[in-house]
Structure formats: C-alpha cells, structure tokens
Chain A
C-alpha cells in the first residue's frame, strides 16, 4: 500500500490536547502547522503574567482569561485553517468521560499536575485511545507513548511521592525552613481559606511523642478524633474572627503565646538533638515604624528580612487579606493561596520567617520562600519547544501505524559526555502488578480499621492517593455499600471507623470509579499496634502496598509474546545487572534492547522504579538504547 504522507495522516486524525500551558501552546502550533485540522484543547486555567515568558499564544491583555479559549483564538488569528474546539474546563468533569475520549484517535498530555494525568491515563485505557504523555521542568523533560496492554501505562511505576510532612512536625517541632513554610501556608488557610482539619497550625497535644514513655503505644486516637480536630480548627479561625484579625494580637498569639505553650510540652524538648524554641519578645513583635523592608522591588524580594521587618510585612498583609476576606461575596466563599498574589505571598513569607526565628531555623528571602511555597518549577520556552516537537513526532508514528518506532525520550540538562542531549529508550512494558492497567487491579491497604474512618478511606486513600474522582465502595460478598458517589447516600458513614462495619484483617473492598471505568480491589491488612513489625510508622495512618502473592501469580501469567522483537545486534551488552528483578522477566527485558546506531556498550538505568509495594526496586522501567 502507498504510504500516506505525514500531512495526510495528520489531517485525517482527531486529536485531544489536555493542557494549554507551556507545552500546550507549543503543541497547538506544531499540530496546526503539521496539518492537523481536528483539534480539541481543554484547560481549566486562566492566564497569569508569569506565563508570558514561554506561553507564546498569550499576551499581557489576555491575563485572567481562559488559556484554552485564548490559545484557540490566537492560533486562528495567524490565519490557520483548523477546526479547533476549546474547553475552558477541568478534564476531571463528568462530561469528559469515556465517550468523550473515544472520539479521538490520540490524546496528548501537556499537563502540570499528577491528579489529572492519572485521570486521563485511566480514561485513555478505558477508551483504548493511545496517549502521548509529557512533562518538563527547567532544562529537563520527557515524552513517552502509552498504549493499552502494549506499553506501561502512566501509573505502572510508582510515582514519586509528593513530599508531605507529619502533622506534628509542622505543628510542634519544625526543624527545617520548609516546615515553617508549610505551616505558614496552613495558617493562611486556617485564617482566610477553606479550613482543612489536616492542616491545623495550633500546638498539637496529641503528638505521639507526648504519649507515654512506651514507644510501642500508637497515637491515641479514636472515632472522635475528627470531631476534636474540627473543634480545634474552629478555635483558630473563630479566635481570629473574635479579635477582628488584629495583627498585633495574632503576632503575639502565634509567635509568643503558642510557642510558650509548646515549651510546656517538655517531653518534646528533651529528645536528643532537638532544640527548644524561643518565644519572640514583645520588642521583636511590636516592631517600630521604620522596620519596613527595602521598598525597592529587588531588595525586598532578595534580602532576608529581620524579625521586625517580618512583623511589619505581616501586619500590612493581614490588613489587606482581612479586608478581602470581609468583602467576600458569601459566607461560604474563602481566599485561596496564590504565590503570585502580593499580599498572600507576603503573609506566608513573613509568617514562615517569624516561625523560623522562634525555632532557630534559618530564615529565607521572599524569593526563596516563594519557590518553596509555590512548588515553583522553573520553566522556559526552549525546553517546551523541544518537548512539543517530540510529542508530535511520536504521535505521528502512532497515527501512521508505526508504533514499533515509538520511543520514550528523555531530555537531559547537559549533553551526555558521549554526545546526546536526548536519550531515546524503548517504551517500557506494562507492569503486571500495576494497580491501574493490570487485568484485575488490586492493592493491600495497611491501616488500623478501628481508627481509619470511611471518610478518610474515601478522601485520603481513594481520592488523594489512588486518584479516583467519584468512588463507590462495596464490601465484597456482603452487598454493603460503604461509600457511594451519589451525594447524600452514605454520608452518615463518613465519621465511622471501618471496624464499625465489621471490616478487619483480610476484608475485601470493591472500589469502583464509574467515570474512570476503573475497578480496584482493596484488601485490608490490619496493622497490629502491638507488633513492632506490623506497626505503622509514627504519624502514618495507612500504607498502600501491593499484594505479593497475587503479584507473582500475575507475573507468571504475563504473556511474553507482547514483547517487541528481540535485539538483532550480537554485541555484548551489560544487561545482567538489570535482569534480577523479582518478576523474573529477564527475557522480556532482553527483548526490549532494540538495536540502535549506538556507539558504546553501556546500558543505563534511568530510574529504578518501585512497584506499589516498593519491593522490586531493581526492576528497571527503562532500558537505554544508547
């Protein structure tokens, strides 16, 4: 048959671009110039000034408008003949379900967050639509192709945990600048935002370290814990409201009284290597009028403020925020922390540094605190251009029926000594233990069923950790609906611990997200507080692990035929080192070593991924082709 030209392939394909940011803008351009005509683009975000250094479809006058809509308008203004549908919406919305995804020949991810990536991954699997996933950070980037059953899915390897800190470290015993920054962000939410009981800032009287000297006793907690936190949360905000958000009184409470209260928990400060905080003095907190930091923008951002300067900034930030808070349209409305908002960022920078001063931790400039508070990842036009170029090239291979030519490509910061800035790899194979794309996905949940509530199971386990959007949970074999995605049906269950429903060791929970067409079996492993081996670590309420038995069974059953053709090169490669994974799938891995015009014999493991149980860390997901 006559091979179609790339332009023909492109013009006949329906493509969905998820994300209209740094990579999305470049992608949209590449697509229209390459001859794609039926393009949909979806993005919830609006345009910010800090996007303009790379998101070239946006101008100053577009700030505040929808990224997706403006991106479409801009492309069409260049006189490009394409049928672009733009959605200013969250891809997590119900209307973008399997039927929606089934309408595309390929989906291209240009997202900046994991939750949406997980969701799109699942929908593409459910709709059996190939997916090109990508990401960039500073000078680094990656592009890979995902096809159901043939390649690894986005969730096949354990994703790097978003860094989280135990609540008691944040509330009672910070030791690093980041602890203070997290605390300050929590404080912002407690005072002005949507208060989250997991983000309390007041001294925590339930710190496990405070419980009896026997270290085998777990945190004292029971079903009423949530209620207690509820009431504490109320006090922080209602206290502030009662004082009219008086900055002076806030300063005094947060950085003197609360610190003094912490000092009364003397057990905390007897621990070796720990250093007791010092309440800030009235002198520091009453800061005289001339304590304002440099008015000059650069100095203000880059100098480290003194405690007095922090107080000054704190006062004026609180003044602004409380005014905005008072002017909000309804009682349910609240402020959201935005690192690019002057007052919000001033508030967090000054509060974080004041706390740092109290705890003898290094204070930082506003510029640095902003990077920590906003999880700012540097972003530049050049990297996004490279990544977007790669995405379209890989997408065309898929659409042209040449998926065997696809590569997983890594962009490096510097040229490799042997001369490559991009590293092409064979696409990784599916992980038979994957809790998403395996034929019968399952995980084991280690928890104390007498403590973990149904609400926590839904919000913290299923939604936050396992990226479900609207889960239903049924106790297997008993027909009991524990969680329903229909509003109001099971809310009374939320505060109850799992044990209340007879859920104990080995209990099986059928979890289902209709939107994602995703079923997951959760097997409960009751953590035994008395057994040091079985105990959950301090400050951890649950752990999600893979079930080893079923994993091995799946691995044996994994078809070897799905592997790409074996290497034709007879050259000896150092492959032994990477073939000792517990899956014993050395054959499959060998088969992944495609032949390339290579100039050295080195195989490298880019990342040693972990499966859900974290046990198979030697299993490489990527084998370099060099």
Chain B
C-alpha cells in the first residue's frame, strides 16, 4: 500500500517559509565533512535550505529518478515519489534504480527504497495513486511541497497540476523524453533569487558620495610624504579617491559621467605614479588604481532587476490600499492576506532607496595590493557603514511591518542581513503558467515555422512533435512506435497528421496562416520519434537528470539564476537550445 505522510495542511507559501538565512545554526561536524565539497559552492545556509526542502517527483521514470538521485545525495530534506505504474523489464533497461528481481512491484516503491539508501539523512516516501485521481481527491497534497518535478506526465494532467501549483507559488519543473531528445521547462509564478552569484560583480564603494569615515581616512594619507614602501603599498582605493577628488575639484564637483572623463581621471593617476628610477616601475597598486576607473567610477544607478522588485512591492501595496478603501467584506478578507517576507523586504528596500538615494552597502572590498593595516582599516570602514545601513534598514522594516499590523520582528535577522548584502543582485524570476507556455502565441509559431522552413530539424519541430505525440496517445492509448508491429510507418503517418492539426490549432487566431512555413513535420523527425517509441535512453536521462537537479537546487536555495525558457536537449548533436 502507499503511504501518505505529508501534512497536507501545511500549505503556507513556500516564500514565507524560505529558509534562506533563517537561523545560522551550524552544521554538525559529520555533515560538514560529508558535504564539504558542496558547502564550498552554496554555503551552510544554502545547505540548510536544501535540508528543509520537500520535493515531489511525479513519474518514476529514468529522468525523474536520476533527477531525484542528484538531490538526495546533497541532502534534500525529504522526497515523495508518486507513480501508479509497476516495474517492467523496459524500466530496467533505462532506470538504474529498479531491479529485474522486482518486476511487477510498484515503481514508486522500488525507486523510493533504492534512493533512500543513498543518504541516511534524507526521508523518502512514495504514493501509488494516479495523478488525475489524486488531483481531484486531494489537491492540497500537492501544494505542501517546495518543489514538484513532473517527468513524462501527460499534457492534460499537467494543465490541472500546474494551474494548482502556479496559484500557490510552488515551482514546477516539467520534463519529457523521447529517445535521444528531451525537453524541460520551469513553471514558477514568482521565484526570488537571493544570491545571484554574478561572475564579476562591480565593487560597491560609493565613491560618488563617499563615506565620511573613508574621506577622513584618505585625507590622512599623504602620498608625497610616503617612503617608497608605503607608497607602493597604498591601496588603490585610496589612490583612486585622491585623484578623483582632484578631478572633481577641477570640474565643478561633478562625478565622471562618461568614458572620456573616466580616462581623464586615469591620466591623473598615471601622472602621480613614481618614476622607474625610484621604484623599478614596481607600483602594482597604481596600475590597479588606473584599471579600476572602469569599474569603480561608474555612475550609480538603480539596477533594473531591483527596480522591478520595487514595482512589485508598489503594486501589492496599491492593491492592498484599494481593497481596504472599498467596503466589500469579502474583499476585506483578501486584503488581510499578509505580504511575504520578500515583499516586506522589497517594500523596505524601496523606502531605503527613496530616503538615501542608494542601496544598502554590501560591506566587502575587492582584492587590492596593500599592506595589511591599511587594507583592514578600509575594510572596517566599509563594514561599519554596511552594518549601519543594516541597522537603518531593519528600523525601516519594523515600520513597514507595524504599519500593516504585522509584528515588528516578522522577518528573521539573518534573512534581512542576507537580503541587504545582496541588494544589488536581487532578482525576481517568473514564467507564464504552463497553460500559456504550452500553447505558444500564433506569431511565435509562425515565426518558428518560417525560420525552420529551410533549416530542417530544429528544437521547435521536436517540441511540436512531442505535443503531437501526446495527442496521438490521447487518441490511441499509446505513443507512436510503442507497438510490437515492426512497420511503424502507419504511426508516422498518424503522427504527421496530429502534428499538422496541432500547428494549425496553434496558428488558429492568426489571420494570415499562409504566411507561415510548412506545417507538416520533416519525415526523418517523424520516423525518428516513432523509432524511439518513447523509450528512454539512459545516458540522455542521466544528462537531463543532472541539469534538472541543478535547476532544482537553484530554486530551493534561492542561489543562482534558473533558466526560464523551454529548452530542448538533442543528444545526437549535443545541443541544448531554447525551443522558441
């Protein structure tokens, strides 16, 4: 029998319960050892988020199981596998986590048992229910998870499932595989990226409006009076500031606003470098100061990704205001829906920015040639300023909370600190609903057909054919090629028909259908799909499992930016490309 352990009442928004930086209780040493190599990528707080995540896999086929395996190993909190099928011989040919000896047993049970063995710290569970049945009987079950992965789930079921999850802000990853090809798609109404981990972040130095303490420190440095050792170990930040001030004095106090002006500052710095005779041309720090003009002297402006968050918060508060102004009692109830921590933080950030004209300081310094004492002194100045910003931010946050009747400490301190530290790189990631995504706009379809008219196989054709396969299944109760009949040409013909109908459906509202390219799929693609008969090639599943688990971990940790486009993997040409 299946076991249902999920506390279905736990339907809190996963955003509020996002564990990022919740409490920095440390990992016990054995875990720190076991997870050492991954902690270096996502940190202890990332690990905590993973350990608090609850993942649901629907479809214990090869891709699904491989994906889950890669989440069980790094220590996801718990998983549930849902699948009503029984283990077949074919499963053994594609899925490692089933056994020949257990053919006929529930697939979900066998996979869950074998996956559970991989990590004793992970709780694993399974359900034998049919998806369509459970969706009707107990929709609340699905919204109790932090992430749902649907592998090989039929289109009609996906529509119902994704509508449900989309409304409740549970991210969904959809994957389909046919032989050497596989598609994947993230469906998330709102996903917040706490730590984007940009490759080359610009330094956060506030040179436009320098910190008073920093100014005092720089003023106390007399470059001309320094001996050569001190001179060549002065941090570039100090040098840059001094020559920037010089330039500003000569230019009515303005901050360099373009390339030419930044180069002018650079020239000034060069003129201050000491001659070769004195120093063997060894002043690395001065060279650093010169190259830093391109990154440290950019005029500060609000990053568009952050501006988007401000708008999001504004909209929420505006709607809230409108609702509380109107007197309808039912709407009053809606108005009482509390904003998520994220919205509270974004609202506060907007307020901070309005008052201060800048985002909270991150409090870290880039690398620079320097003696330790001055580097540490500078670092402390920026750290103190960042701490002060954090204090001010927290004060504003309390006001925001109290203002709408929430307790002043609604957001945990570590979450606030993480938010402030990454303020410049915060990001909202969103996709359309699956319903929309799986029915591309007629213009998009027309464009894709046109573009691929000459080029032959393309990600779009495969995607279209995948959907046609689904329609084929609806009519015939099996996938094309999934038959003992050796002659699958009949299937190919039927599939071609389905594909044509589908393309026409997708183009339906477009007036000039004729403008689009051909709507009948290339023969070789049709045959290839029929030849696969939806068989799963294990290495392709392993590949896709690696990618999907990586995306899943991004979603769970709020670290790194997940891919939002529908992607197609073609293992023959080794390409992974967006479908549209």
Contact = CB atoms under 8 A, between A and B. Distances in A.
Interface string B547-580: 1011001000000110101010001111111100
Given A50-B33, A420-B575, A421-B576, A298 B96 contact: no
A381 B71 CA distance: 8
B30 to A, nearest CB: 8
A389 interface: yes
A596 B573 contact: yes
Nearest to A339: B36
B29 interface: yes
B528 to A, nearest CB: 13
Given A298-B32, A381-B73, A393 B539 contact: yes
B26 A383 contact: no
Interface in B20-50: 26-30, 32-38, 40-41, 44
Interface in A143-177: none
B26 A296 contact: yes
Name, among B33, B36, B95, the residue most crowded by chain A CB atoms within 10 Å (CB to CB): B36
Contacts of B543: 385-386, 389-390, 393
A386 to B, nearest CB: 3
B120 interface: yes
Nearest to A411: B546
Nearest to A359: B372
Interface residues on B, range: 35 or more
A409 interface: yes
B530 to A, nearest CB: 15
Contacts of A393: 539-540, 543, 571, 574
B101 interface: yes
Nearest to A371: B40
A419 B539 contact: no
Given A298-B44, A381-B549, A78 B73 contact: no
A459 to B, nearest CB: 32
A336 interface: no
A414 B197 CA distance: 10
A326 interface: no
Interface stretch (B187-195, B227-235, B326-334, B510-518): B227-235
Given A53-B74, A597-B455, A385 B542 contact: yes
B70 interface: yes
A458 interface: no
A32 B96 contact: yes
A380 B37 contact: yes
B159 interface: no
Given A50-B34, A273-B279, A421-B576, A30 B40 contact: no
A52 interface: yes
A299 to B, nearest CB: 7
Interface residues of A, number: 68
Nearest to B75: A53
Contact of A35 (B93, B371, B565): B93
Contacts of B40: 371, 376, 378
A360 B372 contact: yes
Given A6-B537, A389-B543, A597-B573, A33 B74 contact: no
Interface of A: 6-7, 26, 29-30, 32-35, 49-50, 52-54, 56, 59-60, 78-79, 81, 138-139, 272-275, 296-299, 301, 340, 360-362, 371, 376-390, 392-393, 396, 405, 407, 409, 413-415, 419-422, 424, 596-597, 599
Given A379-B38, A382-B549, A385-B66, 15 more contacts: A78-B97, A79-B99, A79-B100, A81-B100, A272-B282, A275-B233, A298-B32, A380-B38, A381-B73, A385-B542, A393-B539, A413-B199, A424-B575, A597-B456, A597-B457
Interface of B: 26-30, 32-38, 40-41, 44, 62, 66, 69-70, 73-75, 93-97, 99-101, 114, 117-120, 199, 228-229, 232-233, 278-280, 282-284, 371-373, 375, 455-458, 537-547, 549-550, 553, 560-561, 563, 565, 567, 571-578
**What are the 6 closest A-B residue pairs judged by CB atoms, nearest first?**
A298-B26, A389-B543, A385-B546, A386-B546, A389-B542, A424-B574
